[in-house]
A and B are shown apart, each in its own frame.
Chain A
Amino acid sequence: MIETVALNKSFNGVEVLKDINVIFKANEITCILGESGSGKSVFLQTLAALHEPDSGKIFINKENILQKSEEELLELRKKIGYLFQSSALFDFMNIYDNLAFPLRENTALSESEISKKIKEILQEVNLSGVEEKFPNELSGGMQKRASLARSVILQPQFLFCDEPTSGLDPEHARIIARLIAKISKVYKATTIITSHDIPNSLAIADRIVFIFDGQFTEVGAPSNLIENQDRRINSFLGPYAEVKKCMIE
């Protein structure tokens, strides 16, 4: 379980996250929807203690992670799979070494076990055969999938995905979203996804949260959206506001 209490974060005097109190339950997929610049990436990065917030508390499994040293945080982050918005694969390594990196660094697996694991996970994300390729030789969607594979290879307890479907065609976006949902259920991971991809988020989320200008508005289960008349939410949903009922059903 992850909980934030009165979380605030600003950059150069500009408030990006404003008094965020939210709970993410274990084994649940929460989608945070919000427009560009609303603070989604900053929120996820702060949650993984990659930025220090100005004030507030973050509890992961009941422990306030902001009191931990960077060394302890490195330990903690091994339990967090993090898919970056820009994929963030190491561009000086091929895909095999990229996926092997977390395993070599954090486990005592032998090279043959590592190789077996990589084969399995690449099959899972439908990327078999790209082991020798470098990230820049893959398409954006393939990079996203490779990066997803890297972020879940340690079987994380928590899965943070920053805009996993942005920049992908509708078909690949759907594939990735389903894949995340599947992996999340298999590993029983507490999953947080940020996105502005409305249809896929509604399809896989157990819970929807909106972020407007650094502030959270909780909706609960996607079905709650049908009754919701919040003006800002409906304007964000745009044309989807009309059809949300049939989409969710």
Chain B
Amino acid sequence: MKKKITDIIIHIGKYILGIVQETGSILMFLIKVFSFIAKGKVRFFDVLRQIYEQGFESIVIVSITSLTTGMVLGLQGYFALVRFGAKEFVAALVAISLLRELSPVLTSIVFSGKVGAKITSELSTMNVSEQILATRTMGVDPLEYFVVSRIIACVIVLPILVVISGVIGIFGGYLAVSWEGATNAIYYFHNTLDIVALRDFLSGIIKAFVFSVIIGIICCYQGFKAEGGSLGVGKFTTKAVAYCYIMIIVFNFVLTKILLRLGF
């Protein structure tokens, strides 16, 4: 019995130690990436190509997600607010919940499933087929060559997608409410612009910015850590996406708390 308890304690201790080590090496990874950027070791054309690929790949699915989310939000909001005789607030409800919460979170989740998974599977395939080692034997740091451009592209693309998502979502909200015959365009968008402040916009963009760094780092890191052939590629890719989801949800709460405190 006693032995069992010490076994459990040792097991938990090892687990926690593992998490601490992992966090440490992810932070080291992040620092190395930033130091390359600080030294100006950025491959401009690679960044452009990544921006193009990442944006192109996710724009359709982000648009569909945002449009339908906005529509659902409009409908639900309208019928809920009608009960309180406050239906003129539906535009505000849609805009603020989209800009502050739903657009950044949903877009980031879609982005990690689409772009993040692609990053990890590409890098881990290259890793298990020794291409990343080969880069080092040719005098090039694979972090500088493969990771820097991907992360910079994430940081540029995701905030833009979040803005687009917000705009499309608001439009979706309008569509849903106007189908109910409950509003007209001028009134709805006037209401929206009236209520939405710059800080709502900024709050979403700041979140997107943080999420983009999280997704970029996690997905590149897992790709570099991958081992175990093609099975490993699958394993590390799903792991990367799962970590992204968890981190996005957790950081969203933390960021919301901080941003509200700061007056955003």
Residues of chain A at the chain B interface (Cβ within 8 Å): 45, 48, 50, 70, 73-75, 77-78, 80, 82, 84-86, 88-92, 101-102, 105-106, 150-151, 154
Residues of B in contact, count (CB < 8 Å) = 14
Contact yes or no, B138 A105, CB < 8 A: yes
Smallest beta-carbon distance A85→chain B, Å: 7
Min C-beta distance of B160 to chain A, whole Å:
25
Q: Across the interface, do A74 and B131 meet the contact criterion of CB distance under 8 Å?
A: no
In the A-B complex, the 7 residue pairs with the closest CB atoms: A82-B137, A88-B134, A88-B130, A78-B139, A102-B138, A84-B130, A74-B139
* Interface flag for B136 (CB, 8 Å): yes
Alpha-carbon distance A33/B139, docked complex (angstroms): 28
Asked if B141 and A70 sit within 8 Å, CB to CB, the answer is yes
Which B residues from 124 to 157 make CB contacts under 8 A with A? 125-126, 129-131, 133-134, 136-141
CB neighbours of A50 from chain B (8 A): 133, 136-137
Q: Would you call A75 and B139 a contact (CB within 8 A)? A: yes
Residues A86 and B141 in contact in the complex (CB < 8 Å), given A50-B136, A77-B136:
no
Given contacts A50-B133, A89-B134, A101-B138, 14 further A-B contacts (CB under 8 A): A50-B137, A70-B141, A74-B139, A75-B139, A77-B137, A78-B138, A84-B133, A88-B134, A90-B134, A91-B129, A91-B131, A92-B122, A102-B139, A154-B138
CA distance A101 to B129 in the complex (A): 18
15 contacts between A and B (CB under 8 A): A70-B141, A74-B140, A75-B139, A77-B138, A78-B139, A85-B130, A90-B126, A90-B131, A90-B134, A91-B129, A101-B140, A102-B139, A105-B138, A105-B139, A150-B138
| Complex alpha-carbon distance, A80 and B125, angstroms | 24
Chain A positions within 8 Å of B141 at CB level: 70, 74
Least CB distance, B35 to chain A, in whole angstroms: 11
Of all chain B residues, which has the CB nearest A78?
Answer: B139
A30, chain B: closest CB distance, angstroms: 19
Chain B residues with CB under 8 A of A77: 136-139
Once the chains are docked, how many angstroms separate the CA of A106 from the CA of B135?
Answer: 12
Do A80 and B129 touch (CB < 8 A)?
no
A50 vs B130: C-alpha distance in the bound complex, in angstroms? 11
- Tell me whether A45 and B133 are in contact in the complex, defined as CB-CB below 8 angstroms, given that A75-B139, A77-B139, A101-B138 are known contacts: yes
Does the CB pair A74–B136 fall under 8 Å? yes
On chain A, the residues within 8 Å of B126 by CB distance are: 90-91
Determine the distance from Cα of A101 to Cα of B46 in the docked complex, in whole angstroms: 14
What residues of B have a CB within 8 angstroms of the CB of A80 in the complex? Answer: 137
Q: Please give the distance in Å from A141's CB to the nearest CB on chain B.
A: 17
- Closest-by-CB residue of B relative to A101 is B138
B258 CB to closest chain A CB (Å) equals 36
Task: Provide the bound-state CA to CA distance between A75 and B138, in Å.
Answer: 9
Q: Which of B133, B138, B141 has the most CB of A within 10 A?
A: B138
Which residues of B from 97 to 141 have beta carbons under 8 Å from A?
122, 125-126, 129-131, 133-134, 136-141
List of A residues within 8 angstroms of B134 by Cβ: 82, 84, 88-90
Contact B140 A105 (CB under 8 A): yes
Point out the residues of chain B lying under 8 angstroms from A106, CB to CB.
138-139
A residues within 8 A CB of B136? 50, 73-74, 77
Complex-state Cα separation, A58 to B130, whole angstroms = 22
Q: How far is the CA of A48 from the CA of B133 in the complex (A)?
A: 10
A106 CA / B133 CA spacing, docked (Å): 17
